[in-house]
């Protein structure tokens, strides 16, 4: 049982969560209504404050209690329409393509909508106008495509029903993430109350369960892979790592860190199974044009767009002091090469460091660095760092998981306009927290999750 105070706090938490989930909407009109962003961000602040208050209480927590609270918070949002992101329209579009026998990596939405029988095949104007990536080929890996297809099949043209199908899968895997995180926390002797920062984290609940971002699936598979590595079940570790890559490609770049933690023969085993899993799942989509199309879409996306970028915006601002144009087109390739060099050096750190960081800590700092220098940083991108931060005893990501909601200030009018003052506050706080952990917390004893 919860204490009386925590029962009241959780009740208020649920009421605010339901308000955000069912009464604040950015998708239908493409922007926040008058005054709704301040209301939205105030609600987010209150949600985090309530979680912090429960975390600081003298409640005796158990896994069952925390899991129950996490289930209640997610299930009560089950029937809400996604209200912060319209990406799910594109997910359903891809699934509809597959249902009709077409490879989503080969056909642009702008082409498909012009087909004579497009509407009869399920490519309606409602679906087409719902997302904003009409000029891009799909870039979503195979696990996602399977779920998109199932949702399109069950929905049969009903966008809302298709969204509920996707939510069922994401919610289920998110609960699985809570389980794997709990198991890893027990192995590392982390106080159980820290699990609250994942189970009730507003960013996790709103961006994954409510707004259907598949980082939720990646978190499940990645935590599973780390758990199986810790328990010496390398085949399962490789399989889960491959499934994580098959959901989001990002975990692929962390495979090299295994060199620092397990024998080279085991690295080959885990790596081979992971890559083989991805390739097998990708077989149905293989075509000579796929790599070029996906590369073209990614280069357009990252080349044409900027959003909530931390260090890149700082570089651009400094550049304007010397040039009358943005220097980001020059700076971003440099930052990319800098990150690749960092990745290689971090992967080989055992050659020149007596005791390398734990696997979880290496992934944590790499992901933080990656998103601090990224030209596009949507709030849901950092969700997978939250459980890593809990395992690595890092607080900067928890602070970011609150402040990242400031980026939604860009959607306060039809004319998309970022508020650079708020972005400055976001990154000043986050970078400050990062430096604090690097300088003042770097000498704290840390246990390896993976030996």
Which tens digits make up the pLDDT trace of 308-334?
A: 999 999 999 898 888 877 788 788 888
Q: Cβ distance 170 to 217 under 8 Å?
A: yes
pLDDT of residue 246: 98
Q: Cβ distance 26 to 32 under 8 Å?
A: yes
Which tens digits make up the pLDDT trace of 26-42?
A: 766 566 766 688 999 99
In this structure, are 422 and 318 located in the same domain?
Answer: yes
**CA 262 – CA 271 distance, rounded (Å):** 12
pLDDT of residue 296: 86
In this structure, are 34 and 63 located in the same domain?
Answer: yes
Domain presence at residue 183:
yes
**CA 81 – CA 94 distance, rounded (Å):** 19
Helices 420-440 and 311-319, packing angle to 10 deg:
120
* Of the listed ranges 87-96, 234-243, 405-414, 421-430, the one predicted with least confidence: 405-414
Q: What pLDDT band is residue 303 in, cutting at 50, 70 and 90?
A: low
In this structure, are 6 and 60 located in the same domain?
Answer: yes
In this structure, are 143 and 261 located in the same domain?
Answer: no
**CA 45 – CA 202 distance, rounded (Å):** 9
Which tens digits make up the pLDDT trace of 157-176?
A: 999 999 999 999 999 999 99
Domain presence at residue 345:
yes
**CA 448 – CA 71 distance, rounded (Å):** 30
Q: What is the mean pLDDT of the chain?
A: 93
> Residue 300: is its pLDDT beyond 80?
no
pLDDT of residue 445: 52
Which tens digits make up the pLDDT trace of 436-451?
A: 999 887 655 554 455 5
In this structure, are 238 and 225 located in the same domain?
Answer: yes
Domain end marker among 196, 211, 226:
211
Domain limits for position 274? 214-286
Which tens digits make up the pLDDT trace of 75-120?
A: 999 999 999 999 999 999 999 999 999 999 999 999 999 999 999 9
In this structure, are 320 and 185 located in the same domain?
Answer: no
Domain end marker among 254, 286, 318:
286
Domain presence at residue 300:
no
In this structure, are 69 and 190 located in the same domain?
Answer: yes
In this structure, are 274 and 320 located in the same domain?
Answer: no
Domain presence at residue 294:
no
In this structure, are 329 and 440 located in the same domain?
Answer: yes
Return phi, psi of residue 307, to 5°.
-155, 125
Which tens digits make up the pLDDT trace of 346-402?
A: 888 776 777 778 999 999 999 999 999 999 999 999 999 999 999 999 999 999 999
In this structure, are 12 and 146 located in the same domain?
Answer: yes
In this structure, are 197 and 315 located in the same domain?
Answer: no
For range 34-60, the mean pLDDT: 93
**CA 440 – CA 432 distance, rounded (Å):** 12
Domain count, the chain: 3
In this structure, are 261 and 380 located in the same domain?
Answer: no
Domain presence at residue 293:
no
Domain end marker among 211, 241, 259:
211
Higher-confidence position of 239 and 30: 239
């Amino acid at each position: 049982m919860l204490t009386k105070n925590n029962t009241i706090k959780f009740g208020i938490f649920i009421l605010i969560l339901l308000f955000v989930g069912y009464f604040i909407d950015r998708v239908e009109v493409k922007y926040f209504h008058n005054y709704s962003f301040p209301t939205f961000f105030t609600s987010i602040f209150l949600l985090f404050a309530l979680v912090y208050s429960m975390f600081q209480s003298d409640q005796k927590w158990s896994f069952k209690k925390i899991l129950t609270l996490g289930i209640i918070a997610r299930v009560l949002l089950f029937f809400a329409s996604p209200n912060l992101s319209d990406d799910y329209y594109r997910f359903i579009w891809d699934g509809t393509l597959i249902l009709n026998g077409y490879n989503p990596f080969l056909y642009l939405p702008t082409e498909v909508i012009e087909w004579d029988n497009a509407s009869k095949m399920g490519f309606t104007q409602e679906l087409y106008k719902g997302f904003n990536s009409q000029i891009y080929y799909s870039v979503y890996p195979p696990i996602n495509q399977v779920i998109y297809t199932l949702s399109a099949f069950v929905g049969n043209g009903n966008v809302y029903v298709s969204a509920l199908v996707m939510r069922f899968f994401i919610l289920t895997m998110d609960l699985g993430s809570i389980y794997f995180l709990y198991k890893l926390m027990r192995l590392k002797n982390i106080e159980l109350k820290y699990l609250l920062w994942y189970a009730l984290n507003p960013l996790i609940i709103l961006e994954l369960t409510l707004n259907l971002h598949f980082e939720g699936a990646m978190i499940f598979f990645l935590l599973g892979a780390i758990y199986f590595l810790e328990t010496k079940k390398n085949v399962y570790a490789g399989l889960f790592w491959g499934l994580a890559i098959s959901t989001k490609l990002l975990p692929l770049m962390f495979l090299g860190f295994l060199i620092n933690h397990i024998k080279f023969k085991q690295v080959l085993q885990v790596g081979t199974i992971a890559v083989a899993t991805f390739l097998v799942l990708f077989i149905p989509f293989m075509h000579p044009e796929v790599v070029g199309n996906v590369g073209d879409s990614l280069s357009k996306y990252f080349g044409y767009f900027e959003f909530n970028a931390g260090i890149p915006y700082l570089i651009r601002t400094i550049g304007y002091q010397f040039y009358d144009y943005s220097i980001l087109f020059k700076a971003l390739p440099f930052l990319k090469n800098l990150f690749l060099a960092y990745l290689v050096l971090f992967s080989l750190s055992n050659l020149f460091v007596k005791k390398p960081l734990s696997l979880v800590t290496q992934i944590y700092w790499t992901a933080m660095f990656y998103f601090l220098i990224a030209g596009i940083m949507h709030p849901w991108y950092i969700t997978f760092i939250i459980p890593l931060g809990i395992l690595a005893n890092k607080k900067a990501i928890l602070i970011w998981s609150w402040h990242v909601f400031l980026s939604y200030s860009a959607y306060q009018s039809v004319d998309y306009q970022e508020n650079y003052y708020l972005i400055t506050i976001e990154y000043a706080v986050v970078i400050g927290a990062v430096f604090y952990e690097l300088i003042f917390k770097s000498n704290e004893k840390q246990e390896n999750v993976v030996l």
